Each structure stands twice: as C-alpha cells, then as structure tokens.
Amino acid sequence: MSRLQLLIIVGKIFLGLVLCVPFVTILFAVIATVRHWFASLEDEETENRSAVCTGRVQHVRYRPVVHGFSYPLFFCWIDLDHIDRLFGGTISRKRLPTLWPLTYLASFREDHHLKNGEGLLSEEQLKKEPEGAPNNSLAWRVCRLMAERTNQKFQPTPKTHRIGLVTHIQYFGYCFNPVSFYYIYARDQTMENEKASFDAIVAEVSNTPWNEMHCYVLHPDSVDMTTVQAGKEKSLQEDKQNMSQSTNYMFRKVFHVSPFMEMDHMYDWTFWHDTTAKIAASTTMRHAETDETYFNATFDVNRHHATMEQQPWTLAWQLLRLPFYCVVIQIWIHYEAVRIFVKGVAFVPHPEGSETGASQVIGTIMDP
C-alpha cells in the first residue's frame, strides 16, 4: 500500500468521524428528549435546576504590555443534588440517568474536582459514621472544605444548603476547567427565587501547563480572604430596572496560574447574586505593593430557563456549536500565550519548582 493510498484511507476515516459526530449527537438528544417526555408522566417534579449557560469571557492585561481577547463561552450549571439523576454515578439506580444516551458524549465525573483531597474522609472515618451520615460525595466534601477554611464558623451541610456548580463537564471524553465555581445557597433560597442570594462561593482554579488545582473559599470568615464587602450593583435583566447586588472579595494570590504573571498580586473579585437568569463575575489583579492594575477578566453568561433534563437539546446544541470545547480551550490558552510571548512578556517559572513535561518544553522554548 502506497503512502498516498494510506493517506486517502485515513482521510476517509477522519471525514466519516466528522460527519458521524453531529448525527450521533442529534440522535442521542432526540432519544434523551423522548425519554424525558415519558418519564415526566410518571415522575414527580423536582427542583433540579441544572442548565446550560452561554455567553462570553473577556481578558485584558494592562502591564507590562496591553493584551486582550474575548471568546464565546458555555458552562454547565450542575445542581449537586441531582448529579446521579442526570448522569449516573456511584449511587445505585433502578434505571438509566435522565440524560442517557447523551451521557456517552457529555458526562460528569466527581474525580475531576477537588483533586487535592479537600474535604475527603478516610476509610476509617467513614466506617465510624452511621448509615446516611456524611460521606465523600462532592457536596459533602465542599461543605467540609467550607467549615475547615472558616474555622468552623460556617458549617453548611447538604441538608441545610444546596450547591450549584458552574463548570465544564466531560465533552467527548475530555474535560478541562481553568476555573469552576461552587455557589452555596441556604435551602430556603430556592433556585426559582429571583432574589436568591448565595452564602459563599468556592473558586476551584487550575493552571496550565502544571496541571495543578487550588481552591479559594470566598466567605467573610474564610482564612483565604483579606476583605469581604458589598460590591457595586448592576442590572442583569433586559428591562434594566431590577438591580442585582454583588459581593466583593479581596485576597492574596497564593496559587501560580499564568506562566506570564508574577505571584505578588492581590485578587479583587466581584460576584453578582441574582443567578436565576444570568451569571456574572469580574476579577481584577493588582500589584500587592504598588496597587497598580495588571489584569481584568469578566464572564457574563445567560442561564437557560429550561433545564438540561427538560430540554437535552440545549446541551446537544452546544456540543454541535463548539465541539470538543475543552480541547478548544486548551488551544486558545496556548495561542494567547504565544501572542503574549511575542509581545515580549517574560516566562515566569513555577515558584515552587513544579515541573511537567509540557512545562519543561514550554520553558525551554520561551526562556532558552
């Protein structure tokens, strides 16, 4: 077989896969939708608010050079009460998850989160707990992390609070999250309440190319925080009349994220409370000594009214519109890194000396 013939065969296989993905995605969405129609005739309504969120993310760097970009964005808002119902999991079920068979293309895995063992009980600790007591589910682990970082001053549990996770799930077998946010609400603050206000947020940050993860707990009593105060108001609705309150969190940067940004900075993050129709956040980085603004990032996403369970199409459409989205995110990150490097910004090694194969290659190229 000649090289030309081999290339033709490979090309046909690739083309077949490209054409197959949209067809399979649509087919799976249709099946999931039909299954929901039939299941809704039998099941009682739940408060599951897991939904798709779409919008844009914008970054602007001010020093030492000006650099900015804006990209389309979609997240999933996952109600941690209903992970198993939507995607299946470790809990035994008598039937398939409600998003099946779309779960073959988009799935949720708890081991993609809290990778440093935050809130994790040992086997010995679990054996001492009675049946139905705290376990190592993601919701319980987030609650234990909150209690630990606030020195037990804030002790939520899945019984007293519900948690909405803004994140990327695994699309076509791959997942990467530059940042995920856990919004913690008291149970009396229902997801349908337009004035619902979160009690705390956990920001779960990842870095590239070191593949590390760090959690910041955003709460007035958190040891991570320097200052927590009321932030500015703005309208998140189309009528521009109802103003949404925000909370402003200021704290020291302790986790190396960008290989083009030093560690001596303060974070200034603002989150708006009305998350029923729109999720908005802004982060600014200022130099710890000079207070000069170095960087600002915002994301502003609309939260679909229909849940993923009610309309699996909302998720399927994003898989078609932005296929292999987490891979695309990695491409965008490295593309922007090249642009920044070309502008003359120096590569900043990991302050603790952490290395991966990717970081060694990138460091050699950018700092020969």
Helices (H), the chain: 3-40, 83-87, 123-128, 138-149, 313-321, 325-342, 357-366
Whether 103 and 134 map to the same domain: the answer is yes
pLDDT at 17 over 70: no
Whether 97 and 190 map to the same domain: the answer is yes
Token pair, residue 118, equals 């935050």
pLDDT at 13 over 90: no
- Render pLDDT for 108-124 as a digit per residue (tens, 0 to 9): 999 999 999 999 998 88
Query: Which residues make beta-bridge pairs with 166?
Result: 77, 181
pLDDT at 91 over 50: no
Degrees, nearest 5: CA angle 259-265-267? 105
Exposure string of 304-326, with b = 16+ CB inside 10 Å and e = fewer, is: beebbbbbbbbbbbbbeebbebb
pLDDT at 204 over 60: yes
Torsion sign, CA atoms 94, 98, 100, 105: negative
Return the higher-pLDDT residue of 82 and 354: 82
Whether 21 and 74 map to the same domain: the answer is no
pLDDT at 36 over 90: no
User: Residue holding tokens 């949404």?
Assistant: 244
User: Residue holding tokens 């299941």?
Assistant: 39
Under the banding of pLDDT at 50, 70 and 90, the label for residue 356 is confident
pLDDT value of position 92: 46
Whether 226 and 312 map to the same domain: the answer is yes
Query: Rounded to whole angstroms, what are the CA distances from 301 to 83, 179, 282?
Result: 22, 15, 12
pLDDT value of position 327: 93
pLDDT at 279 over 80: yes
pLDDT at 31 over 70: yes
| Total residue count of the chain as it appears in this document | 368
Under the banding of pLDDT at 50, 70 and 90, the label for residue 61 is very high
Whether 9 and 97 map to the same domain: the answer is no
pLDDT value of position 14: 58
Whether 34 and 96 map to the same domain: the answer is no
- For residue 367, give the nearest of 348, 339, 343 by alpha carbon: 348
Whether 111 and 222 map to the same domain: the answer is yes
How many whole angstroms separate alpha carbon 317 and alpha carbon 315? 5
Under the banding of pLDDT at 50, 70 and 90, the label for residue 256 is very high
pLDDT value of position 354: 77
How many whole angstroms separate alpha carbon 200 and alpha carbon 345? 35
pLDDT at 63 over 80: yes
Return the higher-pLDDT residue of 235 and 321: 321
pLDDT value of position 88: 86
How many whole angstroms separate alpha carbon 200 and alpha carbon 154? 9
Whether 230 and 345 map to the same domain: the answer is yes
How many whole angstroms separate alpha carbon 31 and alpha carbon 112? 27
Under the banding of pLDDT at 50, 70 and 90, the label for residue 184 is very high
Under the banding of pLDDT at 50, 70 and 90, the label for residue 56 is very high
Torsion sign, CA atoms 251, 61, 279, 90: negative
Peptide bond into 209 cis (omega under 30): yes
Whether 313 and 351 map to the same domain: the answer is yes
Q: Which of 45, 62, 79 is the last residue of a domain?
A: 45
Mean pLDDT, the chain, integer? 87
> DSSP letters along 171-219, please?
ETTB---SEEEEEEEETTS-TT-TT---SEEEEEEE-TTT--EEEEEES
Domain total in the chain:
2
pTM of the model: 0.91
How many whole angstroms separate alpha carbon 69 and alpha carbon 325? 17
pLDDT at 212 over 90: yes
- Average pLDDT rounded to a whole number, residues 255-284: 92
pLDDT at 260 over 70: yes
Whether 68 and 215 map to the same domain: the answer is yes
Whether 11 and 126 map to the same domain: the answer is no
- Average pLDDT rounded to a whole number, residues 245-266: 95
Instruction: Give residue 170's domain range.
Output: 48-234+242-366
Whether 302 and 317 map to the same domain: the answer is yes
